[in-house]
Each structure stands twice: as C-alpha cells, then as structure tokens.
Amino acid sequence: MSRAPRKVTIVGAGYVGMTCAHRAAQLELAEELVLLDVQAGRAKGIALDLAQAGAIEGFGARLVGGGDPDLAADSDLVIVTAGRPRKPGMSRSDLLEVNGRIVIQVAEWLRRNSPEAIVIVVTNPLDSMLGLMRRKLAFPAKRVIGMAGALDAARFSCFVAEATGTSVQDVDAMVLGAHGDSMVPLPAATTVAGVPVRQLLGAGPLEALVDRTRHGGAEIVKLLETGSAFFAPAAGAVQMAASILLDQRRLIPCTVELNGEYGIEGLPIGVPCVLGRNGVERIVELPLDTEARIGLNKTAGEVQRDIEALRERGLW
C-alpha cells in the first residue's frame, strides 16, 4: 500500500488491547485508531492518554475510544482482544463459553459495520475462538486470522537465545498447531543466524525448551497471579497487522482455517502464513517428520474437541 490505511479498530481495552493500540500508534499503521470496549470510559481514557503520549513520542494518528460498536464502522483491520484472561490454575479451554459469547457479539458488530475488514483474533482459547469468529462473520478464511504462532515462536526464540547465549535477534523459530499445551515447536525449522539449533543444543536441553514453550503462557500467569501476558501477545498481533497493512508479506506462523493443507480440513490451526494486503496470501507447507506430524494431528484433535464443546453449548 502506498499509504497507511484509514482506520484500524482494536476491540478490548484491557492490557493486550491498550498495548496493541500504543504499538500500532508508534508504528503509524493507520490514520485513525479506534479502541472499543464495553467499559466506554476506560476506552476513552486510554485513547486520550495515548493521544497525549503522541505529543511526546511523535505519532499523530487520530485516537478514538468508546463503547459504541459503530465507532468500528468501515475499519480496514480489526484486532479482537476482548475476553476474560486466564487465572492461575485455569486452562485456555476453561474460557470457552464466556469468551465464546463475547466473540459472537463482536462478530455481529463487525459483520454489520466492517464487512471488508481483515480480522486478527487474540481472544483465548485462540483456535476455537478463531473458528467461531470465522463462522459467525462468514468472511473468507484468508481475512480471519489468529494471533498465536507469532507469540509462541517468540517465546521459543527467547528460550533458545537464553540457552545458547546468543542474541534473540538471530533466532528464527517456528511453532505449529494449537495455542496450548499441545502446540508443536519445530526444532528442525529453528535456527540461530542460519545455524540449525540442533547443532548448538543437545536433545535433552532442546526438549526442555520445547516443553517450556508449550507452557510459556501458564508460566507468566502463575507469576503474575492476577492476569496473563500482554506485551508479547500485543507485539505479535501488531507484527501481523503491520505485515498486512504495509503489504510486507512476512512469513509468520498464524492460526487460519485450513482447506486440506497439512492433511487437515476445515479446522483452524497454527501454520506458517505469508501475510500481505489481502490477509493470508499463502500457506506454506513444511516437511514434517513423524513426531511433528503426530503432534499436529493431536493438536487438531484438541481444537475439534473445543469446537464440539461450543456446539453442545449452542454457540457454534
């Protein structure tokens, strides 16, 4: 695109949403940024605070906050962060019903107000919420994308850098599958400045990093005690938004409804995607060894179970 799109809306003014708004404003991704929340005063207050920060930081997007869904009208891109966060001892699936109802409501707003938007979903449990959003919006799959792989790959990268004593900027990690304990970090597709990570770490230490990545969100939830991660999830969502809005065509692991790729039909799963002006421009199919293939099928089964649970509750 020759210039920033006219409008980006962020639904949910919690920690993830307001951090997304700040980062998007800093990167000047849009001429107008809307922060929408059922707590209208909170959204308005954060938008005003960010506008004042712009006077110091040098960004000039028009920042709007409120609770009226019509504020999102004609958005080019929408990031959905609304939903209840995890607490210690909770799994992402424990949020299925409460966040499912929120996603349905948001989908109704967006289908009416922003029928041409590209939608990035952050709400947990991510994969089933992405599927629910796509079902209720009835948008093409390439325009309804889940932020999970960007975050999980970032966590894997961070742990690899720490273990190898190298800069995280040199680590290129890949994670497939659902955003949960069954995700599939891929050591075979992870490098440090082009050097395969398996040449730098033995099987035991590497497996420990894989396991820590799978439970990376729970580790933060336990430490925070009263909430869940927000800096890295927001960074992942805005990285995806930038690739789409600026047509950067970056290869980022994202959740998208598959149509036979990786042998999976009609399920939302995290896979490597090229993101550009149309949303998902292309899904990249990596060669998988037997262990990774089994892991991906397992994670697909877990997503299917969450979808069946939504169907039993009458939400699907």
**Which of 7, 155, 179, 214 is flagged as catalytic?**
179
Neighbours of 268 (CB within 10 A): 32
* Active-site residue, 179 included: yes
Distance CA 226, CA 42 (A): 19
Positions marked active-site: 179
